[in-house]
Amino acid sequence: MYDKKIEITVPVLNEQDTLIVQVEKIINFLTTELNEFSDIKIIIADNGSTDQTQKLAELLEAKYNQVNYLRLNERGVGRALKASWSVSTADIIGYMDLDLATDLKYLRPAFDALVLANYDIVTGSRLAKGAKVYGRTMIRNITSRCFNLLVKNIFHTKFSDGMCGFKFLKRDKLSQVLSTGMRNDGWFFATELLIVGEFLNFRIKDLPVTWTDDPSSKVKIGKLSREYIEQMILLKKHLKEHSQ
For every one of its 244 residues, what pLDDT tens digit does the chain have, with 9 covering 90 and above?
A: 578 999 999 999 999 999 999 999 999 999 999 988 889 999 999 999 999 999 999 999 999 999 999 999 999 999 999 999 999 999 999 999 999 999 999 999 999 999 999 999 999 999 999 999 999 888 888 888 999 999 999 999 999 999 999 999 999 999 999 999 878 999 899 999 999 999 999 999 999 999 999 776 555 566 677 888 899 999 999 998 888 7
Other Cβ atoms less than 10 A from the Cβ of 39: the count is: 14
Of 147, 143, 137, the residue nearest 213 (C-alpha): 137
- Whole-model pTM: value is 0.94
Identify any residues that bridge with 129 across adjacent strands, giving them in sequence order.
none
Q: What is the DSSP string of 59-119?
A: HHHHH-TTEEEEEESS--HHHHHHHHHHT---SEEEEE-TT--B-GGGHHHHHHHHHTS--
Q: How far is CA 156 from the centre of its chain?
A: 22
Cα separation, 107 vs 41, in Å, equals 13
